[in-house]
Structure 1
Amino acid sequence: MPQRQISTAACLHEVRYEIRGELARRSLELEQQGHAIIKLNIGNPALFGFETPSHLRAAIAEHLPDSDAYCHQQGMAAAREAIAMR
């Protein structure tokens, strides 16, 4: 039986999936050059020593009932900057 060809909608041509996309390829290149890469795009960042401060846990618990389930797919800018500065 011949395989059916599925074409991608034009509006999705610029969509990237960074678990396997350009960012992942660049990360692999850097690792092969001997750089240590901490992959925080998937999985549990606590495994890399990133702990949530207790005052932040308390604030999250307090405001959770008023929040939405998800933030922007790139995460919150303030959180990304704090991690990058670490």
Structure 2
Amino acid sequence: MKPPICCICNKRIKNFENAGLVSFKKRSSDIEWEEKMEREGKVGHPPYADWFCKKHYEKANKLSYLPIHKALKQFDE
């Protein structure tokens, strides 16, 4: 698992009130990753999830219906 650092601004998350890990819509590659990890008995940070600080968490949650690569592009706008 990645440490709790916002993937948008690189701020370390210390208070998880209105901040945290957001999971996005899984892509076929994400499902393949999960199947591979399960087959090999491994664990790790899922490629469809990332950490968001208080400033970015609400927007990330609202975009969680999108795959992560599309959701993250919305933060550039």
Q: TM-score range by the shorter chain?
A: under 0.3
Select the structure that is richer in helix.
Answer: 1
Q: What is the TM-score normalised by the length of structure 2?
A: 0.27
Q: Which has the higher strand share?
A: 2
Query: TM-score normalized by structure 1?
Result: 0.26
